[in-house]
Amino acid sequence: MQMGLIRQKVEMNRSINVAKLLAAILTIWSGGLFFGTNSDAKSQELVNVIGFTGSEPFFLSNLPSQGLGIVPDLFSLIFQDSPYKSEITEIPTTRFLDTIAQNTEFGLWASYSSPIWYSEQEHARLGFSKQKLFEMCHLIVGRKNGAVARTIPDMFNKTLVGIIGFRYGKIESQLSKTPQAGKIHGVRVKTREAAISMIVSERADYFLSSSIRFYWTIAQMNLSKNIFSIQTADAILPCIPIHAMYGAAASASFVAAIDRGIAKLYANSTIPKVLNNYR
């Protein structure tokens, strides 16, 4: 009787040990240690996708409930099925420019910008994708019942509000800090919200803004586009091509992965869908 109980316990322990061994094998197998089923995910190299503070809706680190932003969404799609995985880093624009000027790197990084914004010296430290990610076109925004402006002379003797730190192309030479005949009275504010509020409250006549940022901002302010006069600003600021940007030291395989990813986005007509998510 006692020997029978001992034999049963031995058999039970043996069954438990076999079950544990099988469970361990299945765990290792599912983890890809035998056959490498997760090797692609584990071998993915992190890429710092660098954004600039105050660049909504291109980056939305301060508004995570509304998405990551246009640029993180695009890079996430670009790096799909590649050896790379994006990780967001947001810094002040001045810090990024200083880093570029000092010829230092952020490790493996990517961002967005236009080749036309950089000097030849800066181009030596930067690389850009073959195809643009999108175009940044601009609008002249005014009051619904105000005088329509499509050219620089249309804005003479009027007030144009702009954002501190932004440059507005050839219109800059026509701006005056105080109202002057035959000039455009230029005032600057810190945010697009403040600029749009000046239009709504009739403290300024016009606001020059990229279309992407304007439509996103008025949506955040719960304002209808129908209360504004909106004209294209192509005669003042031509559309600017925005490319993927990376350090000049980036490997050929990294550059190729970016170019392949962008080509796929064009083939699938994905880019307009991403842009429309932030309008």
Domain edges within the chain: 39-136+240-276, 138-232
Q: How far is CA 134 from the centre of its chain?
A: 11
Q: How many CB atoms lie within 10 A of CB 27?
A: 10
Q: Indicate whether 265 pLDDT > 80.
A: yes
Radius of gyration of the chain (CA): 28
At 16, the pLDDT band (50, 70, 90 cuts) reads very low
CB 195 within 8 A of CB 163: yes
Confidence (pLDDT) at 94: 78
Instruction: Look at residues 75, 214, 217, 250 and name the one whose alpha carbon lies nearest to residue 140.
Output: 214
Dihedral class, residue 157 (left if φ above 0, else alpha if ψ from -120 to 50, else beta): left
Residues making up the chain, counted from first to last: 279
Q: Indicate whether 99 pLDDT > 90.
A: no
Confidence (pLDDT) at 63: 57
Confidence (pLDDT) at 201: 96
Instruction: State how far the alpha carbon of 7 is from the alpha carbons of 1, 3, 20, 160, 213, in Å.
Output: 10, 6, 20, 94, 77
Q: Which has more pLDDT, 25 or 149?
A: 149
- Homologous superfamily (CATH) of 39-136+240-276 is Periplasmic binding protein-like II (3.40.190.10)
Q: Indicate whether 43 pLDDT > 80.
A: no
Instruction: State how far the alpha carbon of 247 is from the alpha carbons of 46, 93, 123, 127, in Å.
Output: 15, 16, 10, 6
Where b means 16+ CB within 10 Å and e means fewer, 220-252 reads eeebeeeebbbbebeebbebbebbbbbbeebee
Residues 218, 41: Cα–Cα separation, whole Å: 40
Q: Indicate whether 15 pLDDT > 50.
A: no
pTM of the model: 0.76
Domains 39-136+240-276 and 138-232 fall in the same CATH topology: yes
Sign of CA pseudo-dihedral 164, 168, 243, 121: negative
At 204-238, the pLDDT tens digits run 999 999 999 999 999 999 999 999 999 999 988 88
**138-232 has which fold?**
D-Maltodextrin-Binding Protein; domain 2 (3.40.190)
Confidence (pLDDT) at 65: 55
The label of the residue with tokens 């009027």 reads 158
Give the CA-trace dihedral at 277, 114, 112, 210, to 10 degrees: -30
Q: Which has more pLDDT, 118 or 3?
A: 118
Structure tokens at 17: 């040990």
